[in-house]
Amino acid sequence: MVKGSYRHALYEAAVVITRQPSYSDTGLKLGYLEKWAISGILQADTQAALTTAMLELEVAYSRDGEDVSISTAAGGSTAHYIRAAGCQYVRSTPVSYPMGTGAQYTTYRNYEVGIEAYVAIGANGLITAPGSPMDLMAYTETISYSGNGGPIKMYVPVITGDWPEQQINSVSPIVIVQSGSAIGATGRPVIPYPLYPDRIQNPPSDYRLSLDWPRSFFPVKGQFPISWSYTFTFMGSGPTVFPTGPL
């Protein structure tokens, strides 16, 4: 087994590999988390040499972002490998020594260590370009209404008795708000257009966008959130509209 520039001794390490797929809120398969659970026995002629071997192992697994592979006895390639360039991240867990009985740390030492790598489906070309609907991890949009366009009435204050009701206008405004949010896996989603741009009366308050920093940014950026809110005003009557969905 090889990690970066570090090579385990032949037949030293036993490796268990598992893969766990991940899905977005929209039901799309985004990628998978691959885990390597590595256990083995370091051996050396002396305790001093064993200490050196242990330090070399710990240094090797203190580094993230390196290629990992299992090779044949002759040094050839096998089907088991992790290419850091094709992953969102490759991380190492610290070396642990699970056994402390017997002649441990004389001329041999049992150890355990792990590798985690997240492989995005997009790295294999199975997701379309960033910003496309197929790149969406989450998407929601709401159309809300305020008012029904009916007449406006008010009570007129009087000194005594019940206040009389008076109609001051035969129609009233209807306010429609188009709002939502989305998260793109590998790039910022396309911002939906306002349904009725000509009915935005006050752009500084009625036209709002939010482009947030990616939620994941080490070692590469991912999970790009956006949100939007458009307010439209109609007088008397307005359209009945429904969310259009992602572009």
Q: What is the pLDDT of residues 134-181, one digit of tens each?
A: 778 889 999 999 998 999 999 999 999 999 999 999 999 999 999 999
Contacts of 237 (CB under 8 A, 6+ apart): 149, 174
Helix (H) / strand (E) containing 115: strand 108-120
pLDDT band at 50 (very low <50, low <70, confident <90, very high): very high
Q: Judging by beta carbons within 10 Å of its beta carbon (0-12, 13-18, 19+), is residue 158 exposed, middle or buried?
A: exposed
Please report, for the chain, the start and end positions of each structural domain, with discontinuous segments joined by +: 2-124, 133-235
Q: Which pLDDT band, with edges at 50, 70 and 90, does 82 fall under?
A: very high
Residue 219: per-residue pLDDT: 61
pLDDT category, 126, cuts 50, 70, 90?
very low
Q: Report the C-alpha gap between 72 and 1 in whole angstroms.
A: 9
Q: How far is 58 from 119, CA to CA, in rounded Å?
A: 25
Helix, strand or coil for residue 13? strand
Strands 6-7 and 77-82: unpaired
More confident: 187 or 33: 33
> Of the ranges 64-73, 75-84, 234-243, which one carries the lowest mean pLDDT score?
234-243
**Res. 120: pLDDT tops 90:** no
Model confidence at 184, pLDDT cuts 50, 70, 90, reads confident
Judge if pTM exceeds 0.85: no
Whole-angstrom Cα distance, residue 26 to residue 23? 8
For residue 217, the model assigns a pLDDT of 67
Query: Average model confidence (pLDDT) for the chain?
Result: 89
